[in-house]
Amino acid sequence: MARNTRILTADGVPLERLMEYGEDLTDEFEANADRMFQSLLGTEVNQRVFQKRIGEINWRKAAEGEKPRTGTLDSTSMAFTIDEFNAGLGWDRNYIEDNPGSVLREEMDELMKGADERIFEETFTVMKNGIADGTELEWATPPSPGTRDFAADHNHVFDTTGDLFDDSNAHSVREHIAKAGVELQHHKYSARVAFVSPDLAWKLLQEDSNNLNFQIREARSLLNTPLPNLEFDVNGTRVVQTAELSGDTFYVFDDTLNPLKYNWVRPVEVVQGESQAPVNDPTELIGAHGSARFGIKMVNPWAGVKVTATNIA
């Protein structure tokens, strides 16, 4: 009598079915890579080192017979830092045999949800650390429209209310957000979206009792909800709250500039142990884990403004 060597779950689901389910999840994850939140501030690029053009082509009145002059777009190179991210399923043979297939499929679902959460968290880390803080940058220069002439160390980080307004007065949260938008307008940018902490969102709503009828949406809802559907804005700047931020520090961006770039070296997939080889055989799910390699870069440090409101009226 032949011995059955197939590995089954507690309710008789073969590993082949689980492998097919995992493949469907990773395919779906990759197909939906252009998530709402990522597409809000960024786009995907295919190369790790790429050219970024900052500036504008200026039209000028030409004298009779004069040939056109060259434009004013500056081309600069920048490189990504690529990181690897892993999450273990923690399956051994006993665990598979002791649990029904539904439990194992739920764990695969959670693996993919965790990948989305990780990308969300990494996006905020880059967003918070990528704004020009007064450090002179070799790979970028701030746009200087009109008669303005901003130096390479032009700062968009304001650590106090006084730094932002250049006075010692208290200002409302709305005024803080509006004044941060002025810093973007210096570069012909627009204050399109502001990210605030839950505490600062509550202060903003309290400034006008009518605002209490509104809801300031959570940033995580942007994983599947378009930004135009958000309800609350300050002078046209849509406001989003997130627990990724705390206290009275907030960020304002021009999302039309797509200041973040994403580079995927290896999409989310289920791989074998230390070898990182893709799972191609159902039995390789034993000891397998989720893995991905990607990088995020803030390519325009002046497309955003960071403010810490220290003197709120």
Are residues 245 and 267 part of one domain?
A: no
Q: Is residue 46 part of a domain?
A: yes
Are residues 211 and 241 part of one domain?
A: yes
User: Nearest-CA neighbor of 223 among 35, 42, 41, 31?
Assistant: 35
Domain of residue 227, CATH code: 3.30.2320.10
Are residues 207 and 168 part of one domain?
A: yes
Are residues 164 and 115 part of one domain?
A: no
Are residues 184 and 36 part of one domain?
A: no
Q: Is residue 60 part of a domain?
A: no
Are residues 105 and 32 part of one domain?
A: yes
- Dihedral pair phi/psi, residue 259, rounded to 5°: -70, -15
Predicted pLDDT of residue 132: 94
294 near 121, Cβ under 8 Å? no
Are residues 210 and 241 part of one domain?
A: yes
Tell me the C-alpha distance between 84 and 289, whole Å.
13
Domain count, the chain: 2
The owner of tokens 């830092």 is 81
Are residues 85 and 119 part of one domain?
A: yes
Are residues 277 and 195 part of one domain?
A: no
The angle, 0 to 180 degrees and rounded to 10, between the axes of the packed helices 101-129 and 15-31 is 30
CA dihedral 212, 216, 218, 219 (to 10 degrees): -160
Q: Is residue 202 part of a domain?
A: yes
Are residues 25 and 97 part of one domain?
A: yes
Q: Is residue 31 part of a domain?
A: yes
Q: ∠98-103-109 over CA atoms, to 5°? A: 140
The angle, 0 to 180 degrees and rounded to 10, between the axes of the packed helices 198-206 and 173-185 is 110
Are residues 229 and 191 part of one domain?
A: yes
User: Which pTM was predicted?
Assistant: 0.80
Q: Is residue 225 part of a domain?
A: yes
Are residues 117 and 24 part of one domain?
A: yes
Predicted pLDDT of residue 261: 87
Predicted pLDDT of residue 187: 94
Q: Is residue 168 part of a domain?
A: yes
Burial of 192 (0-12, 13-18, 19+ CB in 10 A): buried
Predicted pLDDT of residue 83: 82
Q: Is residue 234 part of a domain?
A: yes
Q: What's the domain range around 206?
A: 148-257+301-308
Q: Is residue 71 part of a domain?
A: no
pLDDT along the chain (313 residues), means of 10: 72 94 89 67 71 55 51 54 84 94 93 87 89 86 86 94 97 97 95 95 86 76 58 87 94 92 86 82 90 88 96 96
